[in-house]
A and B are shown apart, each in its own frame.
Chain A
Amino acid sequence: MSQRQVLQGVMSLLRPLLLDVVPTIQQTAALALGRLANYNGDLAEAVVKGDILPQLVYSLAEQNRFYKKAAAFVLRAVGKHSPQLAQAIVDCGALDTLVICLEDFDPGVKEAAAWALGYIARHNAELSQAVVDAGAVPLLVLCIQEPEIALKRIAASALSDISKHSPELAQTVVDVGAIAHLAQMILNPDSKLKRQVLSALSQIAKHSVDLAEMVVEAEIFPVVLTCLKDKDDYVKKNASTLIREIAKHTPELSQLIVNTGGVAAVTDCIGSCKGNIRLPGIMMLGYVAAHSENLAMAVIVSKAVPQLSVCLSEEPEDHIKAAAAWALGQIGRHTPEHARAVAVTNTLPVLLSLYMSTESSEDLQTKSKKAIKSILQKCTYLPALEPFLYDAPPNILKHVVGQFSKVLPHDSKARRLFVTSGGLKKVQEIKAGPGSLLQEYINSINSCYPEEIVRYYSPGYSDALLQRVDSYQPLAN
């Protein structure tokens, strides 16, 4: 506590220095305030409570560029901690002055002002709307076109923060023509700039189909796919986020992405990174496959399923596993061909173990259960189904046995295999309530085989035989 009091004492000492005659002292005092507020939220609150902001805002309009930079830094540091502090900044009329600073000649001033606006707009939709109402968006788009890389970065990040809250805000950003400039900058070699640009485009595209179509019309494909090969992990993540946001709206957009080879690029990207970076790529594959069976087949053809099963088994985090399980379920649920493609990679036992394990989170359990169910309902690949007879819980067993009962009456080789692999034995051992669906399936399986075999494999047959041996009287000759 005493440290805090000391710091607040410092605050009250710094405040009169802001009004000093010598401009260097003013600038340094402002810089000091900014650094203090940057470090801690309480100090930022102290800055607000100490009524320093109106003074800063007033002098922001008049002073030279070093002071403007320092004052904008203070505003940014205060505004980044919480929405209330940002609201306090907006209330003292800082937005108009910051927007005026955006028109300044010095790129450092523009950068500081854009940064402050970005941090303010980050918190919620009302603050974003306030920033937009102050007329910042056209100036930010002008800032993006400036030659300085740092300014471009900050402006792109500010646009991303503004457009992420609601479709109307994204529409405002689009109306100013931001998409064309952002799309041009994807080709820039600087990786931090690419991060921000891709993040901005994905925030715009995520809200509605029209916005996503507008982003696509800016001809980002196939240039975006080169970003998936970038060295920087966050560039890859943001690029796959962008592709995901576009793919999730309609089948036509997904089709477009598939036609440009996006699925292969995303699959390779998933293979080359670990952890949270993979997550948007995995979700993108799930979204594409969910739309229609042709797209799911296209995803399978792009060799995505082995990659996804690798993700499922390797990743330590539950939410990434849940995403992979969901994606596999979307791929396999359409037709037997799709289910076979998923089952061949031996993912079903993994999914089952995830479902059964008590350590997995609820989300993971529900998602793996849904995936298993949807794949099983179409799966006719019997070698993959057999392990399920042994381990599965009753509610899944029902579906497995049902699938067997659908396939076995028609395929003689499968019947033979079923017997030799011990599946028939296992089926006999299943206890099912009479009249239940499971019993019906078991009966239909039994009816595919001659009676002797069924009796042979029924439990307790050896005992019954021995009993017969005991009770048999040989014919007295």
Chain B
Amino acid sequence: MAAPLTLVLILSVTIRAVLFRSSLAELISERVEVVSPLNAWKRVVEGLALLDLGVSPYSGDVFHETPLVIYLFHFVVDYAEIVFMVSTFEFSGKYNLFIKQKYALEADRYPHDCLELMRSPKEMHYIPLKVAMFYLLNPFTILSCVAKSTCGLNNAVMALFILSTLKGSALLSAIFLALATYQSIYPLTLFAPGLLFLLQRLYIPVNPCRSRFWFFTVQYSVMFIGSLLVIVCLSFFLLGSWDFIPSVYGFILSVPDLTPNIGLFWYFFAEMFEHFRFFFICVFQINVFFYTIPLSVKLKEHPVFLIFMQIAIISIFKSYPTVGDIALYMAFLPVWSHLYRFLRNIFLVSCVLLACTALFPVLWHLWIYAGSANSNFYYAITLLFNVGQILLVSDYFYAYLRREHHLSQGLYLRRKDGSEATLVLK
């Protein structure tokens, strides 16, 4: 197990090192798919330059990182090394996911014929390796890393949150969740799955009538809010002003920068009628957060899958998505390898995603450099890419629910008359 892991690690480090030294690095670092106004390395450098000039980096509209990040880079020059570290962190985070799977395996209250739905210990054994490979060797992660996008940092914090949650450490989990929320407010929605998982681990039923449930919920919330306050106040004392609040969170929520990216926001708000603008911004932002409630109700027994769903929804519907965000939820896919038999259109979706990935640079070139296409071309491909992602995620959701149904009802269902039954959603 350790040997192939080391191999993957060495391979991924080599790829990144080679790309860093090649002439491609500069090209990649300016691709709009890879960096967004929030996490572009060029803007971090600009923020540092402004700090050196004695100007507050938040007095302008170029720098939108959080104060902790800028002070981190103020002292750490060798950034490339950090990103490598981040990637490995990431990997170790995923490494421990299999604990959860073991846990699932132990519950043998399922009907007998579902045995083939369960995973053999051998399969389980290789999941961490697969996760590591999926993350470290994913071209999206590599691009994001070579572009020095600070998205890698956010992913690392999220991975640490998942890791500490799975290990059952409530305090660490709350701290890392606060850090992730502080970086980009969207991970706030991961509060629900984090809490659900910890409750499950402590064998506390999710029951509003029980005081233990409330006790733990309040405890976890206090830890989360407390660490968030500490982090925010720390940045206030580092910076000496509250300027970063509108410049970071206002920027994420009100979407003033319409630089093209792979998301849905930029062209929509570039073409929006001015008097509907505020309404649609509210609708689009609520859309990201809203799914938490029904998903938590539906998946309250399966918090790890809920984490996956939340991360995927955030990366699809957030205001400035990059390919690094997509890589994060794609790293989860090998964990759900047992769902493959229930996926309906995985072939189509993977073709769409691959084709879009190839078409992004082509249509960008045609629009921006060749002038032979216009913005609609690039916009069309972002639409298709997002439809592909939505189909992928909803397909996994479908497969997961269906597997759960089969686990409780048996794999080979019969009609009343004994013929083979088909399952439908009703």
* A, B in one complex: no
Binding site for A on B (CB under 8 A): none
